[in-house]
A and B are shown apart, each in its own frame.
Chain A
Amino acid sequence: MLQIISLLMENKAGALMRVTGLLTARGYNIESLTVARTLDSGLSRMTIAVDIEPHGRRQLIKQMNKLINVLQATDLTEGPAVIREMVLMRVRAPQESRTSILKESEIFGARVVDSTVEGFALEATGDTEKLDEFINIMQSYGEIEVSRSGAVAVSLESKKLRLSPPIPRGEAVLVEEKNGVA
């Protein structure tokens, strides 16, 4: 089963590499990854879908939480969460199949975002299984081209975000005191 991890992190160069580096160093293949800034433009929200054997999961979340740029890493796999994906699709639609393509799209709640003599560009959102099904059906009409966003997720319970306060710095004395140097 895929594990869905949600991360709130600083929107800084290299932050993405630190997170994915933890996965690649352990030989895990990332199934999907989405990242975009949050309401606070200094922060990003990342959703990763990755296949990890059960005993490695907690360790990985802990390692992610240790990253300086990560404010919070949460495993949403079992917790209450909404997980959605978006698909954009180009379908070849000759005259005789146009009506049924539109009907099928309606069933799946997909929208037509572009229409030409050759066919349609469709947009759909939903959970992964539903989108798989939609793609399957559309394939029966002929050649399609698909681009999927990968999972985006939001937790349904608010988890308290604990941030560290600013730290006074600069006096050499501070370092020595900290290290207990005589």
Chain B
Amino acid sequence: MSQLMSGAKILLECLSREGVEVIFGYPGGVTLPFYDALYDHPIRHVLVRHEQNAAFAAQGYSRSTGRVGVCCATSGPGATNLVTGLVDAMMDSIPIVALTGQVSTKLIGTDAFQEADTFGITRSATKHNYLVKNIKDLPSVIHEAFYIAASGRPGPVLIDVTKDVFMGNAHYEPVNSIHLPGYKVYTEGHTGQIRRAAQMILEAERPMIYAGGGIVLGNAHDELRELVEAIDAPAVCTLMGLGGLPSEHPNFISMPGMHGSYAANMAMSGADLLIALGVRFDDRVTGRLAAFAPHAKIIHVDIDPAEISKIRNADLPIVGDLKRILPKLTANIREIQSESGSPDRPGLKAWWKQVRAWKEENPLVPVYSTSEIKPQHLMAEIDRISGGKAIVTSDVGQHQMWAAQLIRYNAPRLWINSGGLGSMGFGLPSAIGAQFANPDQLVFSIVGDGGFQMSLPELATLMNYGLPVKIIVMNNGYLGMVRQWQELFYNNRLSSVTLDSFPDPSLLAGAYGFKGRTIEHPSELIGALREAIEYNGPYLLNVKVTPTENVYPMVPSGGAINEMVLGPVQPSPVV
């Protein structure tokens, strides 16, 4: 029994069937019929103040829950404003579905009001995209979009719907099956390869686990922990993988790469086997590729076959879902061990001794001062409050690196940041999505004074929906990371990086109806953070920190990752 329904209603019905509970969006001319249908529909709509932030909020929702986030924008400028958020989701493999309105089919190509070639513009910004010109295609397109977004290597999918499709009527039949003959999703992994990987791991003297965003996306954190414990190797999580292994796990030696820990980078460089899990050998991790993990063989497990040997040749590739593969790998390791009577691994003992020595030599510890708030001190206090449990969304820059280095994440989906694209302005809107999805959880949005000002309009959204996000502005008066590079590599010629005229936070937050405050002395820090957390509602805490503090360790661009600059005084490379 089919029912005559409008396209807008069919769309909402299909979204409901996909389990959608909230849409982050901004209405406009051609989406009027959709918003009319939404008026008395149980799906909630969160009105952001700029479409880019709708995409970021949908990401925050998705990154914090694992579910598909949904955002919506009108045609033309609405759709083009989404693009940064889509590319960002593409780079970090975040499953979101973007709905955009398009001018009526008969107007397409006529330079109609608010017309843009959304389908063409977003082709390379999405995993897949659709232009729906026929209402009959609508149900299967919606279900395909959600399946494509969430399955395999996840990513953003955009559906551009013409106004006549929204307004038209059709007999709606629920679609219970979709067919994408060319879309291949790899899951199980090759049994023989998994066995060989287990052998390689047990033969290695200096094995090392290099875990990435794939662990988080694939919900393979428990499976990772079991593997780490079976191998008993040191493990790093990349910027995207933080929380994939609890920060407090004894085998965890922090993040590798440009601002990674000394121990992580030294261990990557010294390992004879890298077990790369859901990673893509990003340039911010590898540094100079020719010098990256020069003694290591590579086992690379990834769900995306195109990642295998893209950057670094894999000696043993396994394509599939980490959640399925890791338990098999662990089982194989245990099996081989019990067959051979669990022989001692003397190499491994020596390796751990070395890794521990590196850890002690240059640990990642905060810097303190009695006269000014060091950014690292700020992160250490947030860490103390969080105890590895709070959600932390971050913007892009120095504060992002310190928050990654110094705050513990004892579970996946707590650390939310724009890793691949590095989109400034991400921190606040992603916190909106994360807080909406996790109303009872403490959500910090740690932002710089630069990125924060890119998303200022969303302060209204916070207030509007009563989202008690604690915004912590790490305010150094500069675009800090760019300033750091200008200082170190451009003779300190500070070109357009000074951020004067930062608004008074108490007036700014007050204008929206919540509380804000500035602090600049270390003695105020604990009290101010406590006040922010205890405050019933959003809170804007502006923390003036040492303006010219730099992020260390640092691997200069083009350097090998074991050639770190460890601090401000001595720029001599560590060998």
Contacts and interface: CB of A to CB of B under 8 A. Distances in A.
Nearest to A162: B184
Interface stretch (B76-84, B145-153, B563-571): B145-153
Contact of A62 (B174, B219, B305): B305
A71 B180 CA distance: 9
A62 B123 CA distance: 18
Contact of A9 (B18, B146, B182): B182
Interface stretch (B25-33, B61-69, B531-539, B541-549): B61-69
A166 interface: yes
A116 interface: no
Interface stretch (A11-19, A81-89, A101-109, A129-137): A11-19
B290 interface: no
Contacts of B219: 179-180
B183 A164 contact: yes
Contacts of A25: 124
- Sort chain B's interface into a size bin: 35 or more
Interface residues of A, number: 38
Contact of A175 (B18, B185, B305): B18
B17 A172 contact: yes
Nearest to A163: B181
Given A17-B120, A169-B178, A180-B323, A63 B306 contact: yes
A130 B124 CA distance: 38
Q: Which of B148, B175, B184 has the most CB of A within 10 A?
A: B184
B2 interface: no
Interface in B549-567: none
B558 to A, nearest CB: 20
B123 A167 contact: no
B49 interface: no
B19 A176 contact: yes
B180 A68 contact: yes
Interface string B167-208: 000000011111111111100000000000000000000000
A80 interface: no
Given A13-B131, A169-B175, A170-B176, A180 B66 contact: yes
Nearest to B149: A175
A10 B179 CA distance: 12
A17 B123 contact: yes
Interface string A133-158: 00000000000000000000000000
B124 A166 contact: no
A70 B176 CA distance: 23
A181 B67 contact: yes
Interface string B112-147: 000000011001100111010000000000010011
Given A14-B119, A172-B19, A179-B66, A164 B181 contact: yes
Contact of A168 (B65, B177, B310): B177
A94 interface: no
A53 interface: no
Interface string B12-41: 000011110000000000000000000000
18 contacts: A9-B182, A14-B129, A18-B123, A58-B309, A59-B306, A65-B305, A164-B181, A166-B177, A166-B179, A167-B178, A169-B176, A169-B178, A172-B18, A175-B18, A175-B67, A178-B150, A179-B219, A180-B219
Interface of B: 16-19, 65-68, 119-120, 123-124, 127-129, 131, 143, 146-148, 150-151, 174-185, 219, 304-306, 309-310, 323
Interface of A: 9-10, 13-14, 17-18, 21, 25, 58-59, 62-63, 65-72, 162-173, 175-176, 178-181
**7 pairs of A and B residues whose beta carbons are closest in the complex:** A172-B19, A62-B306, A163-B181, A180-B219, A71-B182, A166-B179, A169-B143
